[in-house]
Amino acid sequence: MDQFEAFLKQAGDFAWGPWMLAFLVGTGIFLTIRLRLLQITKLGMGLRIALGREGREHRGAGDVTQFQSLMTALAATIGVGNIVGVATAISIGGPGALFWLWVTAFVGMATKYAEGLLAVKYRVKDEKGTMQGGPMYYIERGMGARWKWLAVLFAIFGSVAAFGIGNMVQANAVISNVATLAHVAEGDAGYGRFRLIGGIVLAVLTALVVLGGVKSIARTASVLVPFMAIFYIAGALFIILRFAGEVPGALALVFSDAFTGTAATGGFAGAGIMLAIRMGVARGVFSNESGLGSAPIAAAAAQTEEPVEQAVVSMTGTFIDSIIVCTMTGLALLVTGVWTEGKDMAGVMTQHAFSRGLPGEWGGIVVGIGVITFAYSSLVGWAYYGERCTEYLLGVRSVLPYRLLWVGAVVAGSVGGLHLVWDIADVLNGLMAVPNLIALLALSGVIVAETRSYWERKGAARRD
């Protein structure tokens, strides 16, 4: 067993190694060039549709509105990585890591655009009339039947990886933070019982949502995601305004250290340029999931007839997740000075920053509630991703058993078991990206042609 765990560790290092990060970012750069910086010119349109009246209207075939589709994707995307992941990046890579996280998010917006476009263009209805889409469908239908094996690989990776990144890790984070807020510490009498009971309650809450399918998940996400994002951002913004005098220096540090590295200060050991790049890119990818192929599964359910319109909506997910939420966390860490505490403190660094910046016990409360809501939203969002992959492999009858297994895994994750599954899922989560990125590159001509056709039609309509 020890040898197998060592093998999984090596496999995980390989799956998330420099080659993968280069593949993800390189694809984003390629698409950014081919789409002519569309993430700049059309971001406003995406935000207008997603967050305005249009995004809440029934505007074509689909299961949920475009707003609900985006919220479902954000439910899965905005997670613990936005809180702990950013702290890890800065504590190891220095303030410059935040700059490279921005760069990764910028090119990732082009990737997310491409994923959303293909998801809608190649989606299908299953025998129950529910929309099915995502990498497995645009690989098979876009690249051709001879590539179905690649679609099958993605679906296998996605259905299993979901239990790690989207289920047990998130369930564990929820119960751990509930215990902290309830002042129940490890070693206390009844700690194990607390986690078990908490896990059962969490499983019930999860079941109430995921057993209802995509419409139930989308409705929940549409309420939960705006609340949790605004609540957390408000706390971070209070800190940034309180330490407003430190903001110019913090931003200068981000830009200068991105190209020069950081000298040792306080408990921080110092970081070189390459380490800043590596940590910023890695945490950016982990946070916004651009290129992994998960978000287009939610995009395929959107009610729209225009792939391009859903694509610009999907693109805003990366902007909200990384450019807004991650930036708020990063600036809170920098202006309060806690980033110098050292990498061993990364797990609690954000909580220290909020405790230093907010009055009384509000720091711990905001971070605790942030982790709980972010993690729970990932639980329900990733449930949908996993079941869509499973349905592609095994058919409609597999959906209910998958949902029940998902609910059971919540309890297992809450009590802290099955680390082996976490490790396997971590490897497969990285490998998910490979079939998806191959498809994005192979179908880049379709993406560009569809984009050009849409804008030509829009231009002709305006002239008429």
pLDDT confidence of residue 271: 64
Lowest mean pLDDT among 72-81, 292-301, 409-418: 409-418
Which of 160, 163, 138, 164 has the alpha carbon at shortest distance from 151? Answer: 138
pLDDT tens digit sequence for 36-90: 999 999 999 999 999 888 878 777 788 899 999 999 999 988 877 788 888 888 8
The amino acid occupying position 79 is: G
pLDDT for residue 464 is more than 70:
no
8 Å CB contact between 229 and 366: no
What's the CATH code of the domain at 230? 1.20.1740
pLDDT confidence of residue 31: 97
Buried b / exposed e along 174-190 (16+ C-beta atoms within 10 A): bbbbbbbbeebeeeeee
pLDDT tens digit sequence for 169-195: 888 888 888 888 888 877 778 888 999
Domains held by the chain: number = 1
pLDDT confidence of residue 339: 85
Range(s) of the domain holding residue 278:
2-463
User: Band of the pLDDT at 112, cuts 50, 70, 90?
Assistant: very high
pLDDT confidence of residue 389: 96
Q: Distance (Å, rounded) from C-alpha 337 to C-alpha 32?
A: 35
pLDDT for residue 270 is more than 80:
no
Q: Is the model's pTM score more than 0.85?
A: yes
The amino acid occupying position 72 is: T
H or E stretch including 147?
none
pLDDT confidence of residue 109: 97
User: Band of the pLDDT at 407, cuts 50, 70, 90?
Assistant: very high
8 Å CB contact between 425 and 386: no
Most confident stretch, 55-59, 159-163, 455-459: 159-163
Pick the more confident residue, 60 or 291.
291
pLDDT confidence of residue 461: 64
pLDDT confidence of residue 388: 95
The amino acid occupying position 342 is: G
pLDDT confidence of residue 429: 79
pLDDT tens digit sequence for 125-153: 988 888 999 999 999 999 999 999 999 99
How much is the average pLDDT of 28-41?
96
How much is the average pLDDT of 266-285?
73
Share of the chain above pLDDT 70, in %: 94
